[in-house]
């Protein structure tokens, strides 16, 4: 009986120890689970902060540069990219501003040169005795001599299709379509036209302006005054 009682006591002690160890293991697991949740939450906060940091200090300047590039693409060369850092993004912003400055200076130079060429062209055109006009592919007059303006109403901005000279539209269309110089034949080879009540004769010619892609980009209408030559023949 004593041995039995002693065995029962030992069994009860083992059960108590096992129960205590089980409870301690559960408490340790619950504590570890809580610590894991805390670490995950802390990692989430750190990740969110890192993303915000990236967006503020890295991605935002890059997006600003992208918007500036789009502005330059649309022709706005007066913008200046603000840079408040000395890192690679700041250096890129400074290089971007230098590029925009070079483009502005180049555009001013091109505009000055274009204006000079345009004025020289107009002065040269005005000094020509014959009626000469440059017409764009849509049939609108770009530049014309004083004779073309006064005699044939070929004023800049005017459509030749709206004029009373049907032959002019015909040779213009043919030259633009074929890319070859068109000289009318037959009765239209020499056009009779009265200037200030006096009879004059003009020889029309349409010369296409060929661009770099070998396609016509306009037509030069030349109306040469051949009145004296026509009178001598007759």
Q: What is the pLDDT of residue 144?
A: 86
Which residue reads 């805390």 in tokens? 38
Cβ burial 113-149 (10 Å sphere, 16+ → b, else e): eeeeeeeeeeeebeeeeebbbbbeeebebebbbebbb
The Cα–Cα gap between 104 and 85 comes to: 25
Q: What is the pLDDT of residue 118?
A: 73
Q: What is the pLDDT of residue 219?
A: 92
DSSP 81-123: ------SHHHHHHHHHHHHHHHHHHHHHHHHHHHHHHHHHHHH
Q: What is the pLDDT of residue 234?
A: 64
Q: What is the pLDDT of residue 103?
A: 81
Q: What is the pLDDT of residue 21?
A: 76
Q: What is the pLDDT of residue 56?
A: 66
Cβ burial 59-90 (10 Å sphere, 16+ → b, else e): eebeebbeebeeebeeeebeeebebeeeeebe
Q: Over the stretch 1-10, which tens digit does the pLDDT of each residue have? A: 888 778 877 8
pTM of the model: 0.51
Which residues of the chain, if any, have pLDDT below 50?
A: none
Q: What is the pLDDT of residue 84?
A: 66
Q: Over the stretch 157-212, which tens digit does the pLDDT of each residue have? A: 889 887 888 888 889 999 989 989 988 877 668 888 888 888 888 889 999 998 87
């Amino acid at each position: 009986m004593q041995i039995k009682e002693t065995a029962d006591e030992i069994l009860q002690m083992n059960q108590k120890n096992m129960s205590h160890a089980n409870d301690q293991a559960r408490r340790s697991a619950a504590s570890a689970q809580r610590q894991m949740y805390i670490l995950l939450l802390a990692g989430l906060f750190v990740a969110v902060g890192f993303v915000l940091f990236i967006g503020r200090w890295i991605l935002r300047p890059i997006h600003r540069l992208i918007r500036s590039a789009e502005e330059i693409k649309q022709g706005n060369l007066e913008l200046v990219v603000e840079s408040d850092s000395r890192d690679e993004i700041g250096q890129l912003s400074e290089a971007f501003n230098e590029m925009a400055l070079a483009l502005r200076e180049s555009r001013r130079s091109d505009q000055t040169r274009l204006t000079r060429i345009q004025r020289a062209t107009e002065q040269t055109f005005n000094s020509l005795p014959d009626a000469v006009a440059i017409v764009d592919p849509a049939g609108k007059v770009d530049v014309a001599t004083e004779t073309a303006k006064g005699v044939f109403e070929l004023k800049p901005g005017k459509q030749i299709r709206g004029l009373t000279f049907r032959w002019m539209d015909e040779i213009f269309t043919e030259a633009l379509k074929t890319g070859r110089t068109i000289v009318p034949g037959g009765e239209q080879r020499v056009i009779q036209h009265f200037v200030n009540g006096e009879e004059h004769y003009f020889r029309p010619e349409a010369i296409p302006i060929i661009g770099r892609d070998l396609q016509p980009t306009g037509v030069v209408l030349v109306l040469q005054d051949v009145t004296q030559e026509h009178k001598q023949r007759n």
